């Protein structure tokens, strides 16, 4: 059988970068002990600032900076593929950052990158979020490919609010799993998180591995949590509701092929 052991880490990140890196390192070590080959961190894992502009102050240049160096060393130390949630990287606008997923291989080399395309905006009488005020949008889908034990794995990269835009997932083509770091708010997560994740798995007939923020943060933002592993039939295999921790499971090529064989919906597409 061709399987890939994966872990998704859930965090309740703080405004202190080093605290978050230490917690990420702790859970990555546990994921490696659980024999995970690929580990995913949540969106904003390294910083959930007291102000939206805090991430601009913490930005790094691609390929240089303490956050990236730390993550590369962890991937190398544990011989894993590390999907590093999101990191604030320099953009063309000094007042904004790119909200970027970087992937490091077991040698600590950066092998994939995705800049968040869809920027979250939400407003009620109690809550207001407008990512476009401090984040520059990306414009290219991201896909990660590597081979292990003779099997080629193709994994889609997306971030949080991207989940609401199915055309992005179609644009990535056929993948084995979509990896989705996120920081869904409690309000929107309660209403839509699970159903959107399961929909992306069902319509693309692939696994979905989502890594979330899950709790009340010092900036009083409340995130939904519920990091999940979902199979190509839309069944939730693993779920962690709130707090810090991780989920671990396996992706199966045979399961993907079985679902696509008995219901060849991807071949039935006409547009």
Does the structure show a pLDDT above 90 at 271? no
Q: Give the pLDDT band (50/70/90) at residue 182.
A: very high
Helix axes 17-33, 66-78, angle to 10 degrees: 10
Q: What are the φ and ψ backbone dihedral angles of 106, each rounded to 5 degrees?
A: -60, -10
Any idea how long the chain is? 271
Among 46, 59, 160, 177, which one carries the catalytic annotation?
A: 160
**Spatial separation of the C-alpha atoms in residues 156 and 179, rounded to whole Å:** 6
Does the structure show a pLDDT above 90 at 120? yes
Percent of residues, the chain, with pLDDT higher than 70:
100
- How big is the CA angle at 174 (ends 135 and 205), to the nearest 5 degrees? 100
Does the structure show a pLDDT above 90 at 191? yes
Question: Has 116 been annotated as catalytic?
Answer: yes
The strand pairing partners of 213, in sequence order, are 11
Residues 156-185, mean pLDDT to the nearest whole number: 98
Question: Has 253 been annotated as catalytic?
Answer: no
Six-digit token string for 7: 């872990």
Does the structure show a pLDDT above 90 at 114? yes
**Spatial separation of the C-alpha atoms in residues 235 and 216, rounded to whole Å:** 28
SS3 label, residue 164: helix
Does the structure show a pLDDT above 90 at 270? no
Q: Which residue has the higher pLDDT, 125 or 133?
A: 133
Tell me what the pLDDT averaged over the chain comes to. Answer: 97
Residues 117-132, mean pLDDT to the nearest whole number: 90
Among 90, 116, 131, 206, which one carries the catalytic annotation?
A: 116
**Spatial separation of the C-alpha atoms in residues 210 and 241, rounded to whole Å:** 12
Domain ranges of the chain: 3-268
Q: For position 48, what pLDDT does the model report?
A: 97
Q: What pTM value is reported for the model? A: 0.97
93 to 89, 137, 229, 238: CA distances (angstroms): 11, 11, 36, 40
Question: Has 43 been annotated as catalytic?
Answer: yes
Long-range contacts of 141-145 (CB under 8 A, 24+ apart): 141/114, 141/117, 141/168, 141/171, 141/172, 142/101, 142/112, 142/113, 142/114, 142/115, 142/172, 143/112, 143/172, 143/173, 143/175, 144/81, 144/83, 144/103, 144/111, 144/112, 144/179
Per residue in 64-88, pLDDT (tens digit) is: 999 999 999 999 999 999 999 999 9
Six-digit token string for 158: 């997306």
- In b/e form, how buried is each residue of 185-197, taking b as 16+ CB within 10 angstroms? bbebbeeebbebb
Architecture of domain 3-268: 4-Layer Sandwich (3.60)
Per residue in 14-57, pLDDT (tens digit) is: 999 999 999 999 999 999 999 999 999 999 999 999 999 999 99
DSSP strand pairing (177-182 vs 151-157): parallel
């Amino acid at each position: 059988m061709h399987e890939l052991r994966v872990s998704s880490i859930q965090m309740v990140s703080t405004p202190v970068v080093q605290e978050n890196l230490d917690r990420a390192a702790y859970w990555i070590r546990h994921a490696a002990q659980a024999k995970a080959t690929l580990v995913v961190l949540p969106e904003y894992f390294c910083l959930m600032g007291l102000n939206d502009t805090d991430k601009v102050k913490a930005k790094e240049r691609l390929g240089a900076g303490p956050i990236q160096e730390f993550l590369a060393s962890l991937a190398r130390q544990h011989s894993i593929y590390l999907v590093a949630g999101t990191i604030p990287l320099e953009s063309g606008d000094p007042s904004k950052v790119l909200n970027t997923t970087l992937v490091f291989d077991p040698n600590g080399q950066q092998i994939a990158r995705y800049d968040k395309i869809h920027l979250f905006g939400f407003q009620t009488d109690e809550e207001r979020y407008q990512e476009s005020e401090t984040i520059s949008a990306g414009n290219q889908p991201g896909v990660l490919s590597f081979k292990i034990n003779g099997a080629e794995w193709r994994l889609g990269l997306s971030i949080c609010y991207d989940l609401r835009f199915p055309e992005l997932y179609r644009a990535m083509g056929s993948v084995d799993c979509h990896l989705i770091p996120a920081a869904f708010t409690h309000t929107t997560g309660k209403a839509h998180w699970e159903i959107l994740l399961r929909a992306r798995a069902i319509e693309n007939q692939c696994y979905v591995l989502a890594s979330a923020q899950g709790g009340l943060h010092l900036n009083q933002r409340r995130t939904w949590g519920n990091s999940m592993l979902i199979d190509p039939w839309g069944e939730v295999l693993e779920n962690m509701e709130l707090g810090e921790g991780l989920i671990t499971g396996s992706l199966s090529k045979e399961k993907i092929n079985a679902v696509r064989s008995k219901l060849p919906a991807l071949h039935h597409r006409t547009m």
